[in-house]
Amino acid sequence: MFSKLKYFIAESWLLLVSSFLFGLLIAVADAAWSAKIAQNKAEKLSGLMTSLVSDANSFEIAIKEANLPGNGGQTVKTDIYKALDKQGNCAGFAFIAAGTGFADKIELVIAVDARCEKLFGFNVLSSNETPGFGDKMKNAIFSNQFKGAPTGKLELIKIGDAGKIDNEIVAISGATVTSTAVINIFNKSIKSVKEQLQQKGLITGNGG
């Protein structure tokens, strides 16, 4: 009986030590990779913002942790970046906005001009939309419709001229849910961003 108890204690001790060491290794690895992941995301964000604001020489945070509308009446926090040209003048603003697509969460990098009157467009930061359908939001035939469009409310239409730049956006064929999600992300976020930029006195002019 004593030998069995001694064996049980010995085996339990080994299990506890092994579990502790394994957990410690996971924590160390997670800490190491988290910093790298955050750095990669920051570098990707910088590249996506730069490609949207052609005159941008650098970016600085204009409003830290601004509140944007999320799903179910919730709010999400995101930084609003101010793009500066080579002379240090405001060339526009950029920020991350998210919403629920067909398959999963969609994260977009959206940019507007210095008056927040005109869209510079968007780039996809992250998405798991269906290949060949929802992921076509990255294609120029869809995304180019946003370049130069007004920052007022956008409307999704099924049939129209995708080359015409206005507030009407022609949906992706076979991906109405994804198209609707992108429009909703724009309509929810732009209104809020414009209001917060106005409140901070960061918009030149009346901001549309």
Query: Along the 208 residues of the chain, how does pLDDT read in single tens digits?
Result: 556 556 555 556 566 666 667 666 665 655 566 666 667 778 899 999 999 999 999 999 999 999 998 777 788 999 999 999 999 999 999 999 999 999 889 999 999 999 999 999 999 999 988 898 889 999 999 999 999 999 999 999 999 999 999 999 999 999 999 999 999 999 999 999 999 999 999 986 554 4
Tokens in use for 63? 């409003």
Given a contact cutoff of 8 angstroms between Cβ atoms, the answer to whether 145 and 170 are in contact is yes
- Answer yes or no: is 180 within a domain: yes
Q: How far is CA 184 from CA 54, 168, 191, 208, in A?
A: 25, 13, 11, 20
The number of folded domains in the chain is 1
Domain extent for 130 = 44-199
The two structure tokens encoding residue 122: 């968007």
Does some domain include residue 17? no
Residue 73 lies in a domain: yes
Query: Any idea what DSSP says for residue 146?
Result: G
134-157 burial, b at 16+ Cβ within 10 Å, e below that, comes to bbbbeeeebbebbeebebeebebe
In a domain, 15, yes or no: no
Helix (H, G, I), strand (E, B) or coil at 109: strand
Give dist(CA 5, CA 55) in Å, integer. Answer: 75
Residue 21 included in any domain: no
Q: How far is CA 82 from CA 85, 91, 115, 162, 199, in A?
A: 10, 8, 12, 29, 15
The rounded distance, in Å, linking the Cα atoms of 29 and 31 is: 5
184 Cβ contact partners less than 8 Å away, ≥ 6 residues apart? 99
Whether 13 maps to a domain, the answer reads: no
Eight-class DSSP state of 118: B
**Residue 168 forms beta bridges with which residues?**
155
Whether 169 maps to a domain, the answer reads yes
Residue 176 lies in a domain: yes
Rounded Cα–Cα distance for residues 18 and 20 (Å): 5
Which residues is 103 bridged to in the sheet?
none
